[in-house]
Amino acid sequence: MNNQPNQPQQLRLNKFLAERLGLSRREADEAIAAGKVLVDDKPAVLGARIDKTSKVCYNKKIVPFDTEFLYIAMNKPVGYVCSRRAQGNAPTLYDLLPKDYQKLKTVGRLDKDSSGLILLTNDGDFAFQMTHPKFHKEKIYEVELNKPLEPLHQQMISDFGVMLDDGPSKFTVIHENDKYTVILSEGRNRQIRRTFAALGYAVKTLHRTQFGKYQLTDLQSGKYVIIKP
């Protein structure tokens, strides 16, 4: 029999790299195919499996087998970018985190002019499941426009969609107390702003309050909390 009780548990190499490095599995496979990954000092092959006795290196750096995953939720303030490097005079949200948390990667992004819930983690599988379109994770935003949204335009966005350069954009728009709640499951770059702009509106404020099962609740701007996956 092949199932020996003392045999180390094996793990697919691409899954291991995704979890440890915050990559998607496709990106992990691309890294393997490009020769960036070594297993026991030999070039890795696609479909390989490893265990805790394996020595895995990525770009000449050892990737530890045992890693403690961390998940945090932050209320990103307006004016901060989601990259590790500042852009011009705009600071990065990593400036708001302690040094130990600055290696975490954002799960999706919010643009500089938007605020609200942003998730960060070192678990690539979690990031993949939260962001890939096939998992349909709903995101909810509070939006303020420069002028009232015409009912016809509201119906157009919610029922038919608006054609953008990268394809049709469709999401639910709910009107409440001079503000609009937007519910969507896509994650295209500046999608909400571009959709309203295509109909002649400017977004004054964009604030994300929910991402999947995670909600912002009463978390203060610029603060973060540790969450469970």
The residue annotated as part of the active site, out of 100, 111, 178, 218, is 111
pLDDT in tens, 184-204: 998 788 999 999 999 999 999
**Region 138-211: CATH code:** 3.30.70.1560
What pLDDT score does 6 carry?
60
- SS3 per residue for the chain: CCCCCCCCCCEEHHHHHHHHHCCCHHHHHHHHHCCCEEECCEECCCCCEECCCCCEEECCEECCCCCCCCEEEEEECCCCECCCCCECCECEHHHHCCHHHCCCEEECCCCCCCEEEEEEECCHHHHHHHHCHHHCCCEEEEEEECCCCCHHHHHHHHHHCEEECCEEECCEEEEECCEEEEEECCCCCCHHHHHHHHCCCCEEEEEEEEECCEECCCCCCCCEEECCC
What pLDDT score does 2 carry?
46
CB atoms within 10 A of CB 119: 23
178 in catalytic set? no
Query: What topology is assigned to 11-62 in CATH?
Result: 3.10.290
Helices 25-33 and 13-21, interaxial angle, to 10°? Answer: 110
* Average pLDDT score over residue span 173-189: 90
Residue 198 corresponds to which amino acid? Answer: A
* Average pLDDT score over residue span 51-72: 89
CB atoms within 10 A of CB 179: 14
Q: Where are the domains of the chain?
A: 11-62, 71-130+221-226, 138-211
Task: Report the Cα 112 to chain-centroid distance in Å.
Answer: 15
pLDDT in tens, 71-90: 999 999 999 999 888 888 89
What pLDDT score does 128 carry?
85
pLDDT in tens, 3-29: 455 666 788 999 899 878 877 788 899
Domain pair 11-62 / 138-211, same fold: no
> How many residues are given for the chain?
229
User: Which of these, 91, 196, 83, 186, lies nearest to 139 by C-alpha position?
Assistant: 186
Query: What topology is assigned to 71-130+221-226 in CATH?
Result: Alpha-Beta Plaits (3.30.70)
121, 17 Cβ separation under 8 angstroms = no
60, 46 Cβ separation under 8 angstroms = no
Residue with tokens 């985190």: 97
